Structures are given as structure tokens and as C-alpha cells.
């Protein structure tokens, strides 16, 4: 049985201990219920154990590191001759040496990676029992529920009269941060709105893996709405959400 598409990319980081606590808990809970993902996780764990066995994993010897550093094309002088800034050459040597020594560096998540997390979190929420932590159509219950669980207060407008009834809310994880997810319905479709503190930035509209995403910033908060409804309807949702948020 194959692993779930939206979970498969998270199984490797889970085995390597690279997920934050929230995502670790979510993936482990899914694996406990899903035979395909459990089999894939066991396979990855077996491969990892083999790669860490004696005589399998090697670091670059000092002699190789010295030879790499001595390559003329990577020296500062050669860099100047090629009109490349002097400071860049040592950086290239360092990067190559680090790769040979099997040293990895953690970089901030790119916009594309965050977009993928938004879609993955949306898909994961559609599994039975994952959509809401608090289920209600009353904004005066959802909004206070977040108090004490996050350090900011997201708006929770009611939009039922415009065809987007409130369903509830839950805590999720985006870019390594615990964020609120406010859940609405559009006919038989689900709209997730993720919120986190952020500096003012431009609006974004895109379609990823068949899901429409709308992002905007207001009052120091970044909003990301995602759904499988048409992009025009999601834009309509954004307009209504902003208007009703005050």
C-alpha cells in the first residue's frame, strides 16, 4: 500500500528528527492510523540504520580538503582574474568543502516551501477528525478559544449570510510556528484560513496542486486562505473576510 501523497514528504524529516513538535505529533498520529505511511516510515528507518552502520558513512579526509582548497580556479586571485568578487572565492571553497564533509546547514523556509505547507496542512485537515479542535458556527466561541493558545488574537468574522458559514477553528503548524486555522465551508468545500504575525507585504494569488491560495496582510497579521473552490470565489471570500474583520 503506497504512502499518502501529502504525508510522504514529511516522513523523511520525521525519521531524521527535523520536524518541529507540532508537525511531529501530527505525522505520528497519521502514521498510527495509516498502514501505507507506516510501511514507508519503517522502510525509511531501515535505510537510515543501514547508512549509519560501520563502514558505510565516511567523511572527507583532511588530504582531500587540502587539495580542494588548493584548486587555483577557486582561489581569490583567480576569482579576481575572472572578475568575481574576492570575497566570493573563499565562500565557494567553504561550500564545496562543507558538502564533501557531509555538513548540512538549515536555511529559512522559502516562499514555495511555505506554500507547500499550506496546501499539505489543508489536505491533512480534510481527514476525518482533523478539521477542527473547536467546532461551532459562533465567532464568540471560536475567537476566545484561541486565547492562551497563541499570543495574538485573529479576527473570526461570520460570513454565513454570504455563503461561507463558519465551522470552527484549530491549531496547526506553518513554517515551524503554531498558528490558528479558522475553518469555513463553501457548499461542500472547505476553506482554511491560516494566520500568523508578519510585516506588511503584498497580496498573493496562486494555484498549487489544484488548490487556490489567497494571501494578504492586515494589522500586522498575514492571512493565507486555501481551498479547492474556484480562485474567483476565494478572492470573493478574501474581500468579505477583510470587510467583516473591521
pLDDT at residue 108 in the model: 41
pLDDT at residue 102 in the model: 42
Which CATH number does the domain housing residue 161 bear? 3.30.200.100
Are 188 and 138 contained in the same domain?
yes
Are 41 and 142 contained in the same domain?
no
> pTM score, two decimals?
0.58
Using one digit for the tens of pLDDT, what is the confidence trace for 170-223?
A: 999 998 889 999 999 999 999 999 999 999 889 999 999 999 999 999 999 999
Are 215 and 121 contained in the same domain?
yes
Query: Confidence class of residue 14 from pLDDT cuts 50, 70 and 90?
Result: confident
Percent of the chain at pLDDT exceeding 70: 80
**Number of structural domains, the chain?**
3
Higher-confidence residue of 127 and 75: namely 127
Mean pLDDT score, 229-238: 97
Are 148 and 68 contained in the same domain?
no
In a domain, 105, yes or no: no
Are 156 and 81 contained in the same domain?
no
Domain, as residue range, for 209 = 111-245
C-alpha closest to that of 134 among 105, 166, 176, 94: 166
Amino acid at each position: 500500500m503506497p504512502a499518502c501523497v501529502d504525508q510522504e514528504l514529511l516522513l523523511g524529516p520525521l525519521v531524521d528528527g527535523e520536524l518541529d513538535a507540532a508537525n511531529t505529533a501530527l505525522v505520528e498520529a497519521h502514521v498510527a492510523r495509516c498502514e501505507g505511511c507506516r510501511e514507508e516510515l519503517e522502510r525509511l528507518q531501515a535505510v537510515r540504520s543501514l547508512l549509519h552502520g560501520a563502514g558505510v558513512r565516511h567523511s572527507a579526509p583532511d588530504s582531500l580538503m587540502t587539495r580542494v582548497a588548493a584548486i587555483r580556479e577557486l582561489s581569490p586571485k583567480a576569482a579576481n582574474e575572472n572578475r568575481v568578487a574576492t570575497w566570493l572565492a573563499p565562500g565557494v571553497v567553504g561550500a564545496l568543502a562543507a558538502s564533501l564533509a557531509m555538513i548540512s546547514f538549515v536555511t529559512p523556509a522559502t516562499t514555495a516551501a511555505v506554500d507547500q505547507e499550506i496546501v499539505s496542512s489543508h489536505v491533512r485537515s480534510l481527514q476525518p477528525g482533523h478539521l477542527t479542535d473547536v467546532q461551532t458556527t459562533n465567532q464568540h466561541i471560536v475567537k476566545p478559544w484561541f486565547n492562551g493558545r497563541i499570543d495574538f488574537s485573529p479576527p473570526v468574522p461570520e460570513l454565513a449570510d454570504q455563503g461561507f458559514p463558519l465551522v470552527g477553528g484549530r491549531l496547526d503548524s506553518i513554517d515551524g510556528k503554531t498558528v490558528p486555522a479558522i475553518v469555513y465551508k463553501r457548499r461542500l468545500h472547505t476553506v482554511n484560513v491560516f494566520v500568523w504575525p508578519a510585516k506588511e507585504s503584498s497580496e498573493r494569488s496562486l494555484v498549487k496542486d489544484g488548490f487556490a491560495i489567497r494571501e494578504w496582510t492586515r494589522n500586522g497579521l498575514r492571512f493565507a486562505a486555501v481551498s479547492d473552490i474556484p480562485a474567483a470565489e476565494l478572492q470573493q471570500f478574501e474581500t468579505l473576510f477583510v470587510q467583516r474583520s473591521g
